Amino acid sequence: MISWLVLILMAVYFYHGYLSRRLDRRKLSHSSYYDVAYGGEKKCVDQAAAILKDVGGYGKLMLDWHYLWENGPASADVILLHETGVYVLETKDYGGWISGNPQEEYWVQTLWTGRYTSCQNYFYNPFLKLSGCIECMKKELPDMKWLPYYSIAVFGGGCELENAGLSDGERKIIYLKQLSYTMYGMIRSSRKFLSRQVIDEIYDRLQGRETTETGLDKSPRLDYSKNRPDGRKAVSG
């Protein structure tokens, strides 16, 4: 009886492992089956949100925000509406070597597949994605053109970043473990000028306009509409 139970459990485990190998997210993040099956990407978002809750001052969080406009769907993993401005985050639970800069349309993830071999995956520039999200928010808040927006690309998953710490004032590339003191520094150096009333109003207006497109996959995926000129597939999400 016990042996049959063991065999059934092993069969379920290997079947789930087979399914996980078919998931784009595992191929792109180089995460384990457990992380993929039980929310590695979501865990990264949740960790970022937990850190932002403790930054001090008055603020409101929005998670997994989606908006559909004339240019297509836009989204952000985490948005912090704070006394010092609007902080928009894109989180990635990727492994390997990550290279790219804010101006390039695609960034590159390099994974070692053997001692002397590697493979490369291309994914859409997080800052360009966040830029589209910010444009949507500006569209919904036309009477608040004075609002400062900050874009932060946050990477977990044990990856190595070529441009870790890169900053041009309003955009930053950091590791998840750097988020706490990065936010502390940004908030400390910024003027607090948004009242609770204004923050609540922004929150209500953006929440009221949030949309969920039917069939919109909220996990990283191969985006065949954004293939590179050389024919390689790019990643969106």
Q: Between residues 9 and 45, which one has the greater pLDDT?
A: 45
Is the pLDDT at 58 greater than 90, yes or no?
A: yes
| Mean pLDDT (whole number) for 176-184 | 94
The predicted-structure confidence for 74-105, as pLDDT tens digits, reads as follows 889 999 999 999 999 999 998 899 998 888 89
- In 150-163, which positions are buried (b, 16+ CB within 10 angstroms) versus exposed (e)? bbbbbbbbebebeb
Is the pLDDT at 62 greater than 50, yes or no?
A: yes
Is the pLDDT at 213 greater than 50, yes or no?
A: no
Question: Tokens at residue 154, please?
Answer: 């946050």
Query: What DSSP element (H or E) covers 187?
Result: helix 179-188
Angle at 100 between CA 95 and CA 105, to 5 degrees: 115
Is the pLDDT at 216 greater than 80, yes or no?
A: no
> Which of these, 194, 217, 160, lies nearest to 84 by C-alpha position?
194
C-alpha separations of 19 from 12, 16, 28 in Å: 11, 5, 15
Q: Between residues 200 and 12, which one has the greater pLDDT?
A: 200
| Mean pLDDT (whole number) for 195-204 | 96
pTM of the model: 0.72
Separation CA 147–CA 195 (nearest Å): 12
Sheet holding 160-161, edge to edge: 160-161, 97-99, 106-112, 118-124, 234-236, 221-223
What's the pLDDT score for residue 166? 73
Residue appearing with tokens 């932060």? 152
What's the pLDDT score for residue 211? 62
What's the pLDDT score for residue 6? 60
